[in-house]
Structure 1
Amino acid sequence: MWLSWQLLGCTWFQPKEEKTARELAEEGIEAFKDEDYRKAIESFEKLKDWYPFSQYAILAELKIGDAHYHRKQYQEAILAYEEFENLHPKNEAVPYVIYQIGRCHFDRLYTVDRDQTTAREALQTFERLIRIYPASPYAKKAKEHMEVCNRNLAEHDFYVGMFYYKAKHYKAALERFKTVLRSYPDLGVHHKALEYIALCQARIDSAVGANN
């Protein structure tokens, strides 16, 4: 009788068989297609942890970054993409990975009246992509995003210049407008910068004349 219960107990409490690497990969991909990115991340994380040397592990590492990106969890996506690049520097997906890191920064661009750190980080990442993989189709996309980043930076510097100008800090304003002219000459802001450079210089000269 005791033996029968023992055998029955073993049947009841026997753990379920773990899913294979392929099953987890397929599960993650299906969840990703259904835009259930949370579930996709769970499946791919299990795959990566349980089968780190599987042929599907690299796919899981990449798709974890993509899933975080689609959830707008940009910092988590950047960490996943950077880990992929560090582990697989020669993989054919690396240009895409670098591009996606840039996109994570780019998609967080702020309005010109706020700090532009993300614009600078996006710009640096896209520049790295173009420098290392100039023939990649992602390099072309990166150039388009770089133009937006540079325009943001130009308009931000002009905005700061206008802040100083309105506060009558004409020397500080002059330096900002000169930065716009020097660093971003072809982005549609240089005409306004030239105008205010002249106005600042006139104000500064007027103040010097009044003191003499």
Structure 2
Amino acid sequence: MIRNSSDRGSSGRSSRHPQRRERGGPRGRLLAILPLLILLAGCSSLSNLFGSNDDDMGPELPADKLYNEGVYLLNEKGSAKEAVKKFEEVDRQHPYSDWARKSLLMTAYSYYETKQYEEAIGAAKRYVSMHPGSPDVAYAQYLIGASHYDQIPDVTRDQTRTERAIQALEEVIRKYPTSEYAQQARKKIEVGRDHLAAKEMAVARYYMEKKNFIGAINRFKVVVTQYQTTRHVEEALMRLTECYMMLGIANEAQTAAAVLGHNFPDSPWYKDAYRLVKGGGFEPSENKGSWISRAFKKVGLG
């Protein structure tokens, strides 16, 4: 029975249950993004200030009143869906005002809060397109990535959403490297890449069970060449050792075991690879011309 990486202890989360994805980014950071409640200072009663209801929305209402009603509904009442109506009304009635710009970002955030991710992505993309010079554009770009990220599926399913999340979060790092969201984006990208590697490992193990060792090698190769910084690379190298031994390609098996031992000498996976090679009458020995050796040298791990 083939083990997966989670068999080696509690260091990594199960690849089939990606529910440990951290969600600390957009939520709870509202006051750090926009000076949302400054205009409320000195008001003796929020309920008096926002005494109007949806029926009051009309051409005569000023932008700041609509905006602050939306903030009140979002922060005090926890009614993100109702808040969206207020923010969108600002854009409808005062499309060229600074309040409309702020309301568009708040619309994206409110959609995110209600898990209407496609709407959140749409509003955030519109903000990035319309206000590229805004100090809050990094947050809007981060919201796009976070909305994709929160929809990452189980590793048994198509991973297009994971790839989109990584791409959007990489934009945060590339365009706004000094923003407070760059570090959060890096953490999410790391989890996303681990998820993609887990998908490759799951398919490769399936091929091994079916004795399709060439198919398995091709999948493990993806992990070794593209996802070396994930927790799955150690098992991938051991599985390569196993597949190559099964195919009688001893020199590649020796190289896989040697690279594993060189980069992860204390790994339990190396102990397994070492036993496999020794059991075949060989020693771990790195062939510098092997794709495995070149892959690790390329990123400075070999």
Give the TM-score band, short-chain normalised: 0.7 to 0.9
Segments of structure 2 that go 5 or more residues without pairing to the other structure are 1-57, 250-302
- 1:20 matched residue in structure 2: 62
2:72: which partner in 1?
Answer: 30
Bigger mean CA deviation after superposition, 160-169 or 62-71: 160-169
1:81 paired with 2:124, answer yes
Shift of 1:204: 2.8
Query: 1:17: how far off?
Result: 7.0
Partner of 2:36: none
Runs of 4+ with deviation above 3 angstroms: none
1:51 equivalenced with 2:115 (yes/no): no
Whose relative contact order is higher, 1 or 2, with alpha carbons under 8 Å and at least 6 apart?
Answer: 2
Q: Which residue of 2 aligns with 1:141?
A: 184
134, 148, 151: which one aligns with 1:108: 151
Helix, strand or coil at the partner of 1:56 = helix
- Going from structure 1 to structure 2, the CA distance change for 1:40 and 1:160 (only over 3 Å counts) comes to same
> What is the deviation of 1:141?
0.9
1:146 deviates by 1.0
Shift of 1:55: 2.5
Bigger radius of gyration among the two: 1
Give 1:131 shift: 1.1
Counterpart-to-counterpart distance in 1, 2:229 and 2:59 = 63
Q: Percent identity among equivalent residues?
A: 32
2:247 matched residue in structure 1: 204
1:182-201 pair list within 5 angstroms? 182-201=225-244
1:20: Cα distance to partner? 1.8
Match of residue 7 from structure 1: none
Match of 2:164 among 117, 121, 126: 121
Q: Which has the higher helix share?
A: 1
One-letter amino acid of the counterpart of residue 143, structure 2: Q
Matched residues, number: 191
Q: Which residue of 1 aligns with 2:84?
A: 41
Retained in 1: the 8 A contact 2:108–2:120? Answer: yes
Q: Is the 8 A contact 2:59 2:93 kept in 1?
A: no
SS of equivalent residue, structure 1 residue 186:
coil
Aligned to 2:15: none
> 1-side partners of 2:95 and 2:229: how far apart?
49
